[in-house]
Structure 1
Amino acid sequence: MSRPTPSTPATTHPDWLHLSGEENVVWESRPHPVTMGVRVPIGLALVLVGFAVAAWSVTDGGVGGLSLVGVALVVLGIALVLVQYVVWTNTRYVITSEELYKKRGIVSRNVTQFRIDRVQNTALEQDVLGRLLGYGDLTIYTAGSGDPELTFERTPEPERANGALNEQLGKLVDRDRSGERSRSRNRST
């Protein structure tokens, strides 16, 4: 007796990512966790200090003003960490077979999007800390603009992102060349 195979669920994409026809996602990431910065360790330190202050004040004679200060430090620390985490999780970088996307925002959303065929040049930058921790900036320049069009800041494993983009650019060049050859053959016949 054979078992029925479960159907493969359709890949769902967020509502801000508009894929067309044969377009597919080739690379997707959010910034490296280091992007959350020093606010996360500061928030965690506030939580620890708040617990220590609250625990010390309770054992020293009941709940009082110092206990409330400890609780306030805990709440402030948790809020600081949560805000940084939410900002981090709501920043996305996407490379598809046809377009580049950078999405930011929690309450309001800012999505930068442009076609890969507009890419003129890319630059991959990593400082010493970025090399040690595995992040870097991938900057994309487009035709007709001397300024960067888009930067994926503090991208984890930036070589993979750059490789995925270069692969798509190579496919685009190959498609253009094969199209030119077929047009040339059609003209000569």
Structure 2
Amino acid sequence: MGYLEDLMAANERIEAATRGHWTGLVARLFLPGLLLLIGIALAVAGNVFGTGVLQQWGIIGDTQTIVRIVFVVALILYPLVAFVLQYLDWRNEQYVVTNFRLIHIRGVLRKDVRDSSLEKVNDIVMNQSILGRILDYGNLSILTSSEAMGSDLKHIGRPLRFKTAIVEAKQRLDSAAVTGGRSVPELLSQLAELRDRGVLTEDEFQREKKQLLDRM
């Protein structure tokens, strides 16, 4: 069972999930990747041309072979480690909407989890650039009464689908709260029984029926 499943309540289910878009990952990996390529290039240059090329670049002297090795290895290992850490950080950050709440999970070994009840969501604002619409990424600003979730979900993938999932989950939750957790067919059956017993008039029955159907 995964970490997300461990967070779920017994009657809680996932409605939708997303994470940062891959273009954001590319931007985060650009500098480590560039340094890694430079380190590999220096290693190849030192191996193919000997120390002469590196001496011309002013990196080593005749008696600095160990320094050269340490420098090149560090120039390769540092961006490589940064590359892996950035990827793992991106891979383990998730935005999840369930039938009860919004959940933001991040962290590889040490987890940071923030959640906010759907009942507290007041409004959702989506912002997409032209490129974002083409590649399907954007920002969501979720306004809640507690703001525990944070105001912005930046550069996430499939923002429109995620926003729709939040709205629909909130509507279902609000509808269940109004009906006391009972299904609309059950309530319609009770209304019909009250009408048949003469407790409700036909007009009252039709009015209540319309209100229930509008909540579906």
Alignment RMSD (CA, Å): 3.1
Q: Does 1:46 align with 2:35?
A: yes
Counterparts of residues 1-189 of structure 1 (less than 5 Å): 12-14=1-3, 17-36=6-25, 38-61=27-50, 64=65, 65-143=67-145, 149-179=150-180
- Measure, in 1, the Cα distance between the counterparts of 2:132 and 2:6: 28
Higher helix share: 2
Using the size of structure 2 for normalisation, the TM-score is: 0.67
Using the size of structure 1 for normalisation, the TM-score is: 0.76
- Measure, in 2, the Cα distance between the counterparts of 1:154 and 1:119: 20
Higher strand share: 1
- Measure, in 1, the Cα distance between the counterparts of 2:28 and 2:4: 30
Q: Deviations over 1:144-170 (max 9, x none)?
A: 77x984432211010110111111122
The alpha-carbon distance between structure 1 residues 144 and 36, as it changes in their structure 2 partners (threshold 3 A), is closer
Between the aligned residues of both structures, percent identity stands at: 23
Q: Deviations over 1:24-79 (max 9, x none)?
A: 01111221123335341222222222112111112223693445433322112212
Q: Is the 8 A contact 1:53 1:69 kept in 2?
A: no
- Measure, in 2, the Cα distance between the counterparts of 1:53 and 1:105: 34
| Unmatched segments (≥5 aa) in structure 1 | 1-11
The alpha-carbon distance between structure 1 residues 132 and 69, as it changes in their structure 2 partners (threshold 3 A), is farther
* Corresponding residue pairs, total: 175
| Unmatched segments (≥5 aa) in structure 2 | 52-63, 201-216
- Structure with greater Cα Rg: 2
